[in-house]
């Protein structure tokens, strides 16, 4: 049976950051001093060479590595190496191996999705669109070489923890959507809060500046995150932006909330984030219709958070370097930044209204939203 890799004659790959596209031939060769090489973009017959005798993860990583050189020539060797290694690790964790048949479309999509997750974190300075194109080009090349998952029932297996949006990119994204945010504290691996109070009651869960300093101004945000690069982005609810949050704390509450949604036939919203089994669903509510404030417990650890409260946004981490991160539940936020979260549905508004009417003191603006606000 002929080697599938011999059929790869030429492949188009994205060229960042110029936005031009150039072609490189991809050759699997028998003799090569290094595992792989990539000709510079200035050469007329540009070729990527990968040593044919390399196998497994080395072959995968080398193919990705050399293609990344071609695609982003300006990137230095350590950066390319780190990126290629991360992509190789992620794909290998998902049981991706090389076979001698081309990957089908859904497998190529899966490869692209995984690669895109890694690239969009690391390539902060490139547009998400350019990164997505590059991920797709890389995935198509790997698919042609026969790389695909060997485990079919992947969706029932626990998925490896993939990297998410970088904090810098996420903060830019929220600013572009006019979501007012402030930087919050982070919790170290040791459990110590960055406020340095050993008795901090909510480590990593209070803001570094008062909530009323929230802004969408990029210069101000840039200054904050240069000062505290690992700060979790914290959304300030209510006010002019009109965002409120339904927070289902813990898997049981999330399940109950899911049941409500199916009863009321609410669609899954792209504006919902999860971590550790808890779910945050963002909704839009204008003051003319409802004027909720504070933290209202709707039922069984499902809360409606509004004016006076804030919530952590993806990619906030429970702890600065390990453990789960908050992620957008679907494939990230909608591409169109003008798109707003769905309007607070009447049935939910009615539920909250009933609770406040029965017990006017039900809404509190205590933990976790504004407690400790600005005191550290």
Catalog residues that contact Zn ion under the rule CB under 5 A. Answer: 77, 185, 193, 195, 200
In whole angstroms, how close is the CB of 80 to Zn ion at the nearest point?
5
3-state secondary structure of 92: helix
Smallest distance from Zn ion to CB 349, Å: 34
Give residues with Cβ within 8 angstroms of 203, minimum separation 6.
Answer: 185, 187, 191, 192, 193
What are the structure tokens assigned to 211, written together? 């909530």
Phi, psi at residue 46, to the nearest 5°? -80, 130
Whether 328 contacts 314, CB under 8 Å: yes
> Which residue, 26 or 200, has its beta carbon nearer to Zn ion?
200
Cβ distance to Zn ion smaller for residue 132 or 208: 208
Residue 38 or 283: the one with the smaller Cβ distance to Zn ion is 38
CA distance 214 to 216: 7
Nearer to Zn ion, 64 or 254 (CB): 64
What is the nearest approach in angstroms of Zn ion to the Cβ of residue 67?
11
Least distance from C-beta 237 to Zn ion, angstroms?
Answer: 20
**How crowded is residue 83: how many other Cβ atoms within 10 Å of its Cβ?**
21
Retrieve residue 277's tokens: 């089994």
**Taking Cα atoms as reference points, which of 221, 182, 216, 178 lies closest to residue 339?**
178
Residue number with CB closer to Zn ion (207 or 306): 207
Structure tokens at 344: 């607070």
Cβ at position 357, least distance to Zn ion in Å:
36
Nearer to Zn ion, 199 or 265 (CB): 199
Q: C-beta of 34: minimal distance to Zn ion in Å?
A: 8
Contacts of residue 121, defined as CB under 8 A and 6 or more positions apart, other chains included, come to 163, 164, 165, 166, 169
């Amino acid at each position: 049976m002929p080697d599938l890799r011999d059929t790869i004659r030429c492949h188009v790959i994205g060229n960042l950051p110029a936005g031009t596209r150039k072609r490189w031939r991809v050759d699997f060769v028998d003799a090569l001093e290094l595992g792989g090489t990539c000709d510079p973009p200035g050469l007329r017959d540009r070729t990527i060479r990968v040593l044919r005798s390399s196998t497994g993860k080395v072959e995968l990583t080398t193919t990705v590595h050399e293609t990344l050189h071609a695609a982003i020539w300006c990137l230095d060797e350590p950066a390319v190496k780190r990126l290629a290694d991360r992509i190789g690790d992620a794909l290998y964790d998902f049981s991706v191996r090389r076979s001698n048949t081309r990957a089908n479309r859904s497998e190529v999509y899966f490869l692209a999705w995984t690669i895109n997750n890694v690239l969009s974190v690391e390539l902060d300075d490139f547009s998400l669109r350019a990164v997505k194109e590059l991920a797709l080009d890389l995935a198509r090349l790997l698919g042609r070489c026969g790389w695909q998952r060997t485990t079919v029932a992947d969706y029932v297996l626990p998925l490896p923890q993939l990297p998410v949006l970088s904090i810098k990119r996420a903060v830019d994204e929220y600013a572009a959507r006019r979501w007012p945010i402030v930087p919050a504290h982070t919790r170290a691996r040791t459990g110590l809060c960055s406020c340095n109070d050993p008795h901090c009651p909510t480590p990593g869960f209070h803001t570094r500046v008062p909530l009323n300093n929230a802004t969408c101004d990029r210069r101000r945000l840039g200054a904050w995150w240069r000062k505290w690069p690992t700060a979790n982005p914290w959304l300030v609810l209510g006010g002019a932006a009109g965002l409120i949050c339904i927070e289902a704390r813990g898997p049981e509450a999330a399940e109950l909330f899911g049941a409500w949604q199916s009863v009321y036939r609410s669609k899954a919203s792209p504006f919902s984030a999860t971590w550790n089994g808890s779910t945050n669903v963002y909704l839009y509510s204008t003051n003319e219709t409802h004027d909720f404030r504070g933290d209202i417990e709707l039922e069984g650890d499902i809360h409606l958070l509004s004016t006076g409260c804030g919530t952590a946004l993806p990619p906030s981490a429970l702890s600065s370097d390990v453990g789960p991160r908050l992620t957008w539940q679907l494939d990230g936020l909608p591409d169109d930044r003008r798109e707003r979260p769905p309007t607070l549905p009447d049935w939910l508004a009615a539920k909250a209204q009933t609770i406040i009417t029965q017990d006017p003191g039900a809404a509190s603006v205590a933990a976790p939203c504004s407690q400790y606000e600005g005191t550290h």
